[in-house]
Amino acid sequence: MSISNWKYNTEQSLVENHGLKHDEFESIVEGLGREPNLTELGIFSAMWNEHCSYKSSKYWLKKLPTSGDRVVQGPGENAGVIDIDDGDVAVFKMESHNHPSFIEPYQGAATGVGGILRDVFTMGARPVANLNALRFGEIDHPKTKHLLSGVVEGIGGYGNCIGIPTVGGEVNFHPSYNGNILVNAMTVGIAKKDKIFYSAAAGIGNPVVYVGSKTGRDGIHGATMASAEFDDDSEDKKPTVQVGDPFTEKLLLEACLELMKEEAIIAIQDMGAAGLTSSSIEMASKGNVGLEIDLTKVPMRAQNMTAYELMLSESQERMLMVIDPTKESLARNIFRKWDLEFEVIGKVTDTKNLVLNMNGKEEACIPINILVEDAPEYQRDYIIREPSKRIKIIQDQFDQKTIIPDLIEMISHPNLCSRKWIWEQYDHMVMADTIVRPGSDAAVVRVHGTNKGIAISTDCSPIYCKHNSFEGGKHAIVETWRNIIASGALPIAVTDCMNFGNPEKPEIMGEFVECIRGMAESCSYLNYPVISGNVSLYNETNGVGIYPTPAIGGVGLIKDLSKTMTIGLKNEGNIICVIGETSGHLNMSQYLSIIKNKEEGSVPEINLETEKKNGMFVLDCIEGHLTLSVHDIGEGGLLIAMSEMCMAGNLGVQIEVKKEFLHAYLFGEDQGRYLIEVSEKNYEKVIALAKDNSVHIEKLGFVGGTDLKINHLNKVSIAQLVEKNSEFFEKYTGE
């Protein structure tokens, strides 16, 4: 920042170290009518950083559709809420914990899981499923193995201990994540529609209560760190990474849900990023009230903590509540029963100020509106790059004899191989309601005590987003939509986690803008709104940023679990059909990347009309019990999807393809396609239904045997496919 004519008593370096720009500090001084003291400076730093204020993204996030017939609560609360019939709702959100996980992978990933769990049960929902979306650098990068092992262990360690199943997710590797890995965590919970809890403080004089664990010095400046680029000294930031305790979180979960049944809670807010600062200010702002807090009463596990430290600590497993004063004793007894802290630390006021006292001294007095309404909002300059151009792929350069060797190489690759090594470390069956386990298109979890379920999927293609951000944004939404359709569910809504580089660079901001535009177009057309989410910017190290990665978590409803679909082939003699047209789009494909070591060409375009038509047709087939297995065709193309169905069902197929350019047909990544397995007796019904709905359908072949055969010329045993598909992580990790 280096302002030569600095005119303030506050040291310029102190302002810089708090991540505030010169003009932002000027706004603070103007709003307060004075310079802030150290505690106030820390509070502004926390609330005005990118991670908490969304100052670079707010303008564009408003372009996303956020409402719908089933939307009960959209963005703005701890999590989004959708109606899933019978008085039930699904509550869900995805959040990032990227920077902490890169610095300290186990605790970073673990506390990421803990944080998103609190966001969900703060709303009154019991969490029923965890998912994750992970991105790592090159497999031979010196840090990748350490980061991968630590993150997976952290996710499993926290989720397994608290007793919430981790039912799905995605893992990919790419050089752009060498300096910044991505750890995005998603949680889904179930609640009653009339028992949702919100965060707006209310009732002048009502007690403000601190519950959960004691406050320590861990995580101070965590939110600020998450809003900054890395450099070679990033290891020095380890003190900003929080330390989690899943056993305490389990107690906190049960205590909160028990108290919620007593109708004692007026408002509740998780202490996440920026800790007591963000929770108190968000509650006051949403309620249009003030708060007065005595920091002396905050439970502490470290001696001589200052007001600054108490307000900025990101110690885990803590909540802030406003409760009914007539039920204070009841609430206290519940939390003491669960061996948790319960302290009245303040009250709701009509001043619309945040007032902090400690040891009889006023440590801060800040109007809430300055912190929230006057927070910076930037419409940053952006440059929209031309999308990558289509390259001509010459058929003569492809020998049909290489199809099987190419297939084996592809399914052995870390981006297409089995993730079994990862998900076997997660308890995905605890609570006994997991219907479809990891490894299918979408996880399916029963709504406890009913015959309905929710389907959940995470997805994104960063390569698409890098080379054509608009189409990439469309892809990210549609990919989860297809996965949910293929499971037999009606897609309802999504949560997002927008992972990008430095927004102050116009080309990076352009990627963000275009991804948002693409996402909005898909969401609007498919009636698939965004109801919650998170933005993670400044994912850069030494000026090198990640590929744009708008990770999407989608949720759908299966009204009758008997109609749930999986990808595994079921019976010999059944017919395999391809839904959707195949032109053989090899540009920007996994085939080019893995086999030809090329990342070039045009991104396959999404035709939303065709996507919706094909998806609804597949769902109609499932609803009519006309299909036995379904799999969407995604990265790697038709042959990869077919191989996955064979491996999941331990059955072979005989494929008959009368196409001249066989590689393009088998490995091309044309969009809007599915593979379906149908019985001979239902085949004509499916064909007739496709004709009635103007859906393109092709008969691909038959189920049977122990090999995957192509035109009687090329074949590979399913046993060999399974072996090759499973070996990467076992060899890589030495397990």
Active site residues: 51, 97
User: Which one, of 123, 106, 133, lies nearest residue 196 by Cα?
Assistant: 123
Helix 144-162 and helix 105-121, axial crossing angle in degrees, nearest 10: 40
Bridging pattern class, strands 653-655 and 707-710: parallel
The Cα–Cα gap between 514 and 521 comes to 11
The Cα–Cα gap between 195 and 267 comes to 13
The Cα–Cα gap between 550 and 534 comes to 10
| Tokens 């673990």, located at residue | 110
User: Which one, of 499, 508, 498, lies nearest residue 533 by Cα?
Assistant: 498
CA 144 to chain centre: 21
Distances (CA, A) of 609 to 392, 521, 522, 525, 671: 27, 12, 10, 8, 12
Apex 317 CA angle, 248 and 111, nearest 5: 100
SS3 letters for 295-347? Answer: HHHCCECCCCCCHHHHHHCCCCCEEEEEECHHHHHHHHHHHHHCCCEEEEEEE
Q: How many CB atoms lie within 10 A of CB 410?
A: 25
The Cα–Cα gap between 224 and 226 comes to 5
Largest Cα span, the chain: 86
CB-count exposure of residue 408 (10 Å: 0-12, 13-18, 19+) = middle
**Count of positions (residues) in the chain:** 735
Bridging pattern class, strands 540-541 and 530-536: unpaired
For the record, the structure tokens of 628 come out as 């036995």
User: Which one, of 198, 210, 207, 195, lies nearest residue 323 by Cα?
Assistant: 207
SS3 518: helix
Backbone φ and ψ for 282, nearest 5 degrees, come out as -65, -40
Backbone φ and ψ for 369, nearest 5 degrees, come out as -65, -30
Identity of the residue numbered 75 = P
The Cα–Cα gap between 415 and 728 comes to 10
Cβ(153)–Cβ(106) below 8 Å: yes
Give the torsion sign (CA, 587, 592, 596, 602).
Answer: positive
| Residue 402 CB partners (closer than 8 Å, separation 6+) | none
